[in-house]
Amino acid sequence: MITYYSTEHQRHHGVELKDAAIKPSFEKPGRADTILAQVRQAALGAVQPGQAHDSSLYVGAHSERYVRFLQQAWSDWTATGQTHDALPLIWPVRDLRSDLEPATIDGRLGFYSMDAGSPITAGTWAAISASADLALTGMATVQAGAPAAFALCRPPGHHAGPEMMGGYCYLNNAAIAAQQARRQGAQRVVVLDVDFHHGNGTQSIFYGRDDVLFVSLHGDPVHCYPYFSGHADEIGAGAGLGFNLNLPLSKGTAWPAYQAALQVAAQRVQAYAPDVLVVSLGVDTFEHDPISHFRLASADFVRLGESLATWGLPTLFVMEGGYMVDDIGRNVVNVLQGFEGGRAGAQPV
């Protein structure tokens, strides 16, 4: 399996507002570099750079004006004399206007975000555009006939909506890849999100469409970030009614319950009969993840990969979350090797 990786991700690392304090973000460069080291140690396959793509290919998953905002945000921020990371301080909630883009960067930061955990830094655009390009390159590989590819994307993307950054996410890499698959002739695409946190951005992008089925297994939003998205009764709207499946799971979920939910997902995907599968691969379902509360062991990630292999679909894995840096590489490679082996009893690395 080819892994696509870019060093550009190292240009982005900022601060977040968490637990009433400004502190370095949990989402840091060491995450991707640890995964890359494990991919190489496991001899998973070739590691290649992504191909550069025009930012117009990000439009479709996102709006033109949102992409333009991300491109210009740092220069707009520093033009005001600021030199520290840019974070929003006001959001257009409930009774406030959310249809008019503010003229100032302070207003636009809130207009295009959902939290104070996704800073804009000097290297953010370079990192997020390179990340999206990895997903596009991986999709091109799969559409050219490869059974699978792995886009080692950082920053992640699944919380980013049509016009919204948040949850460490800016461009929705998985959604951009799925949209590109449709442009290139795939009739039906599935995005399966196995990150601990609900992929609210991906859901929002495809909620009114029937050409992309979104399926997510995640922590119950009654208790878990992003709190306001991911409930079981969110099933799509308009043309997309019935093409959004959320499987929220309770605190302490271990492999037996997770596997049962995965089987429900498999039945829905089989009925949809897609041409290609995009997996938003988060491994923050790990039992020792510092900001999540599922109980999957490292060996369970082999089982997850094996299960996905039985779906028999061309598959693009797109990296999302996972914050136990010491174990993230092992858990990601377990999924990928389990998928490649496609056999019962595959051994964890």
Q: Taking Cα atoms as reference points, which of 220, 222, 268 lies closest to residue 245?
A: 268
Q: Which residue has the tokens 């970030």?
A: 225
CB-based burial, 30-48: b 16+ in 10 Å, e otherwise: ebbbbbbebbeebebbeeb
Strands (E), 97-231: 148-151, 189-193, 212-219
159 belongs to the catalytic site: yes
Strand partners, 246: 216
- Tell me the C-alpha distance between 169 and 140, whole Å: 22
Residue 311: CB atoms within 10 A of its CB come to 17
- Tell me the C-alpha distance between 145 and 161, whole Å: 29
- Tell me the C-alpha distance between 107 and 111, whole Å: 6
49 Rama sector, left if φ>0, alpha if ψ -120 to 50, beta otherwise: beta
Q: Taking Cα atoms as reference points, which of 325, 331, 61 lies closest to residue 191?
A: 61
- Tell me the C-alpha distance between 139 and 307, whole Å: 21
CB 157 within 8 A of CB 131: yes
Phi (first) and psi of residue 195, to 5 degrees: -65, 150
37 Rama sector, left if φ>0, alpha if ψ -120 to 50, beta otherwise: alpha
Q: Which residue has the tokens 């190292």?
A: 10
Which listed residue (9, 12, 159, 197) is catalytic?
159
Q: Which residues are catalytic?
A: 159
